[in-house]
Amino acid sequence: MKTKIKKKPDELRPEYFFDYSKAIRGKYYKRILEEGANVVVLEPDIAKAFRDSAAVNQALRSLLDLTDSTRHLTRSKAKAKKSAAG
């Protein structure tokens, strides 16, 4: 004679229940703004060029370093134009 297989009830465990009537909308909103959490969505073609977020950060930091080191080159031309026009 075959043994009967007991069916498990199709219910969530008690730890997964959530009473949405007690939820507070925007509870962590201010904290996220204060901490400066930002999410940037990359276009698919750009995302393919980077293996992970660390690679994106490294590329952006090197771009910032490059612009800081070459800023004096573009400023001198702009100042020359202003002084010649003024």
Provide the mean pLDDT of the chain: 82
Per-residue pLDDT for 78 more than 60?
Answer: no
- 20 within domain boundaries: no
pLDDT top residue among 58 and 41: 58
- For 4, 45, 63, the CA distances from 40, given in Å and listed in that order, are 54, 14, 17
Give the list of residues 6+ apart from residue 67 with CB closer than 8 angstroms, or none.
Answer: none
- 3 within domain boundaries: no
- 86 within domain boundaries: yes
- 24 within domain boundaries: no
- 63 within domain boundaries: yes
Q: Would the CA dihedral through 67, 72, 78, 79 be positive or negative?
A: positive
Q: What is the pTM of this model?
A: 0.44
46: containing domain: 41-86
pLDDT in tens, 28-54: 888 887 887 777 889 999 999 999 989
What's the pLDDT score for residue 18?
Answer: 83
Per-residue pLDDT for 86 more than 70?
Answer: no
Token pair recorded at residue 56: 């994106």
- For 4, 21, 22, 25, 26, the CA distances from 18, given in Å and listed in that order, are 34, 9, 9, 14, 17
pLDDT top residue among 76 and 7: 7
- 13 within domain boundaries: no
Q: How many domains does the chain have?
A: 1
